[in-house]
């Protein structure tokens, strides 16, 4: 079946550095992907909508210069956390929609980011 | 705007007990409704969904019926197992393939 894969699953980085998280649709093309953030024991909050070939659409309160999203191909979206700080430590998860399957939304495995 | 409200956890049950997790929503249109499950240390998995009023989604013994009149989508399972221990999220989407609005999640712990 359709699979969305994220990489890396776990990443630890130092404060002030940048880290990139990849989201790939393995069996299908996804013109739109979504990036969510989940703090411990909280729900998922949508950060941005990633559109292939165009700029991402960010939710209110999300800093677009800090969370850079690039959707360069129909199977890959990347989220780069720039100048990371400990408060950016969180679980980041992406999703993609498979057209023709009732537009079922599939999630990646998620990426745990710890900034030290 | 859209919102989803689900009962707070944690919910602690014994094996073979009946599980209900309440979920209500507010939306401007006619959303699709979903239940996602998140097992410890993992991402989200779609558990079931319903796309229109009176539809019943079912999977792995779980069921939920789209009730437009009460704007609800309660999740039920007749006999839970230890392996059902997870966090359950109710969610809605206003448009096909569109972004999801999640409830706060309900942690379920099933004890042997």
What is the spatial order of strands in the sheet that A4-7 belongs to?
Answer: A4-7, A19-25, A76-81, A67-73
Token pair in block for residue B45? 């998995």
Which chain B residues touch A108 with a CB distance below 8 Å?
43
**Residue B36 CA: distances (Å) to CA of A54, B51, B82:** 29, 15, 18
Token pair in block for residue B94? 């206003």
Which chain B residues touch A41 with a CB distance below 8 Å?
107
Smallest CA–CA distance, residue B96 to chain A, in Å, is 6
Tens of each residue's pLDDT in chain A, 116 residues: 558 999 999 999 999 999 999 999 988 888 889 999 988 778 889 999 988 888 899 999 999 999 999 998 889 999 999 999 999 999 999 998 776 655 677 889 899 999 99
Query: What is the rounded CA–CA span in Å between residue B107 and residue B33?
Result: 19
Nearest to B43 among A46, A103, A108 (CB): A108
Taking CB atoms and an 8 Å limit, are A46 and B99 in contact across chains?
yes
Tens-digit pLDDT profile for residues B45-82: 899 999 999 999 999 999 999 999 999 999 999 999 99
Which chain B residues touch A42 with a CB distance below 8 Å?
104-105
């Amino acid at each position: 079946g359709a699979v969305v894969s994220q990489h890396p699953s776990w990443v630890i980085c130092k404060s002030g550095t940048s880290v990139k998280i990849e989201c790939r649709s393995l069996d299908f093309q996804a013109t739109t992907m979504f990036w969510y953030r989940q703090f411990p024991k909280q729900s998922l909050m949508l950060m941005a909508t990633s559109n292939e070939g165009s700029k991402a659409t960010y939710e209110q309160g999300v800093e677009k210069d800090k969370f850079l999203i690039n959707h360069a191909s129909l199977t890959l979206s990347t989220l780069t956390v720039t100048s990371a700080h400990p408060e950016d430590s969180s679980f980041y998860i992406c999703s993609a929609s498979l057209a023709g399957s009732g537009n079922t939304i599939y999630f990646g495995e998620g990426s745990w980011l710890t900034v030290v | 705007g859209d919102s989803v409200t689900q009962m707070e956890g944690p919910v602690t049950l014994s094996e073979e007990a009946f599980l209900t997790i309440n979920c209500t929503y507010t939306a401007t249109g006619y959303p699709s409704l979903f239940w996602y499950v998140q097992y410890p240390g993992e991402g989200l998995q779609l558990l079931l969904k319903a796309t229109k009023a009176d539809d019943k989604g079912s999977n792995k013994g779980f069921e939920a019926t789209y009730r437009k009149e009460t704007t609800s989508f309660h999740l039920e399972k007749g006999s839970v197992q230890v392996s059902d221990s997870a966090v359950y999220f109710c969610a809605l989407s206003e448009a096909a393939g569109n972004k999801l609005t999640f409830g706060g999640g309900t942690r379920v712990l099933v004890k042997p």
